[in-house]
Amino acid sequence: MKYTINEEKIVFDDHYKIVKAKVTYDTFNGKQITTKRLAFERGDSVAILLLEKETQSILLTKQFRYPSCKNNEGWLTEIPAGSMEENEKPEECITREVMEELGYKTNHPKLISTFYTSPGASTERIFLFYAEVSLTDKTGKGGGNDAENEDIQLVKIPVSEIASKILKLKDAKTILALQWFLLEGCR
């Protein structure tokens, strides 16, 4: 099956972009559809599930998220994550983000999966990693990037409590990462 992007135009350009496109694509019954679609161009992101070995705890962040205020939930608990800079490798980005947000240095993060966050609306992919850290890897202050007005709190959840807390979380990438951990990481 094939598709053609006939035309693309940026219709909103601020911190993120929205692109309007005219596309033609093959259907499952052998015909074609030509239509207009919008895409939220956010760029690629990284996220990581961190296990602190000595405490057998998962390291999470708690921070204010404006979009979640629309549902009366301003602060979310999530795995560390961030946006990739232009020409930045996912491994470099996640190392930078973990230091900024939590103050831990990470070595050799393992790629678990790459997935789209909302493929019907956004171009964003997340490169999801896993790494184990030690108490001695806490070499920075964490708390977020002051230049980006971030205010991030470290949250530790013991591995033994993941199953009872997972459904209280509201962030999809965090739920996905914790489910992976329960299925694969604990082996």
Strands 125-133 and 45-52: parallel
pLDDT of 148 strictly over 90: no
Residue with the two structure tokens 């082996």: 187
pLDDT of 26 strictly over 60: yes
pLDDT of 105 strictly over 60: yes
For residues 59 and 155, what is the distance between their CA atoms, to the nearest angstrom?
6
pLDDT of 28 strictly over 70: yes
Strands 75-78 and 57-64: antiparallel
Phi and psi torsions of 150, nearest 5°: -90, 145
pLDDT of 185 strictly over 80: no
> CA-CA distances (angstroms) from residue 181 to 75, 108, 186?
24, 17, 6
Work out the average pLDDT over 106-126: 95
The response to whether 121 counts as a known ligand-binding position is no
> Residue 38: which of 131, 118, 108, 129 has the closest Cα?
118
Q: Give pLDDT, residue 15.
A: 86
> Strand, coil or helix: what is 83?
strand
pLDDT of 137 strictly over 60: yes
Regarding whether 14 and 96 lie in a shared domain, the answer is no
The response to whether 52 counts as a known ligand-binding position is no
Work out the average pLDDT over 77-100: 97
Regarding whether 165 and 77 lie in a shared domain, the answer is yes
Count of structural domains, the chain: 2
Regarding whether 18 and 88 lie in a shared domain, the answer is no
Regarding whether 56 and 34 lie in a shared domain, the answer is no
Confidence of residue 186 (pLDDT cuts 50, 70, 90): low
The response to whether 131 counts as a known ligand-binding position is no
pLDDT tens string 160-179:
999 999 999 999 999 999 99
What are 168's two structure tokens?
């209280």
Regarding whether 59 and 149 lie in a shared domain, the answer is yes
Regarding whether 171 and 142 lie in a shared domain, the answer is yes
Four-point Cα dihedral 5, 124, 18, 73, nearest 10 = 150
Beta bridge partners of 64: 75
More confident residue, 15 or 104: 104
The pTM score is: 0.92
Regarding whether 56 and 27 lie in a shared domain, the answer is no
- Alpha helix (H) residue ranges in 19-171: 90-102, 162-165
pLDDT of 187 strictly over 70: no
Regarding whether 51 and 29 lie in a shared domain, the answer is no
Regarding whether 72 and 114 lie in a shared domain, the answer is yes
Work out the average pLDDT over 113-118: 96
> Strand, coil or helix: what is 185?
helix
Regarding whether 125 and 150 lie in a shared domain, the answer is yes
- Is 61 in contact with 101 (CB distance < 8 Å)? yes
More confident residue, 156 or 15: 156
Regarding whether 128 and 65 lie in a shared domain, the answer is yes
Domain that holds residue 141: 45-185
CATH code: domain of residue 92: 3.90.79.10
What are 121's two structure tokens?
């609306």
Regarding whether 11 and 57 lie in a shared domain, the answer is no
The response to whether 81 counts as a known ligand-binding position is yes
